[in-house]
Amino acid sequence: MTDNMGMLGKKAAQRTGVERVVVTPLPTLYGEFRAFGYVDHDRGDEHVALVHGDPGAAGVLTRLHSECLTGDAFGSRHCECGDQLASALREVVAAGRGVVLYLRGHEGRGIGLLAKLRAMALQAEGLDTVEANLALGLPVDARDYGAAAGMLADLGVESVRLMSNNPRKREALALHGIRVDEQVPLLIPPCESNITYLRTKRERLDHHLPHLDAMVHVSS
């Protein structure tokens, strides 16, 4: 009986949601930030909010950046993720205040690093990014933004100007109670290696990428 009661007590005490665990100054190539470290007790992921200036207000310039090792660290031209991260950090500093959330556990739109690499191998054989995920029996997009909303609430962000081309991020924040005042495009010039990937994001995932039209006109 005592052991059972002890187990119940442990389950009842189990933490949920996101918890801020550390704050530290973080000077970067783009400017001075504070890094707020969080743990997501529901999923076990660790996230970082890079904050420039005072985020506790309305209309805060904000980026929800999904972890992308190949793009962020290796400079892959298969996607535009690394350039988007750098651009978002520059824009936040230029604005005088803002937040960039680096969301781990989002690799490959939530399918994980090795699954993403397998999907990339299928894309090299001719499948698009949606078809490749489905061919592997994986969801097209498995990301969850509940932790992101919890981090913004903890930072005192009242509403955001969301740097994103993805309408689902805006919808997800609204679903979790974060008001989006404006969706700010984050358009990166395409290259030969990622133009097909970007067109798939526009045509099959509803990303707002009007700058791709110029590539069509140039090629024609």
Active site residue 143: yes
Sheet holding 46-52: strands in order across?
18-27, 32-40, 46-52, 98-103, 60-66, 159-163, 179-184
Maximum separation of any 2 CA atoms in the chain, in Å: 77
Indicate which residue of 42, 128, 141, 154 is catalytic.
141
Query: In Å, how far from its chain's centre is CA 213?
Result: 25
Active site residue 181: no
d(CA 47, CA 37): 6
Indicate which residue of 63, 109, 118, 143 is catalytic.
143
List active site positions.
Answer: 141, 143
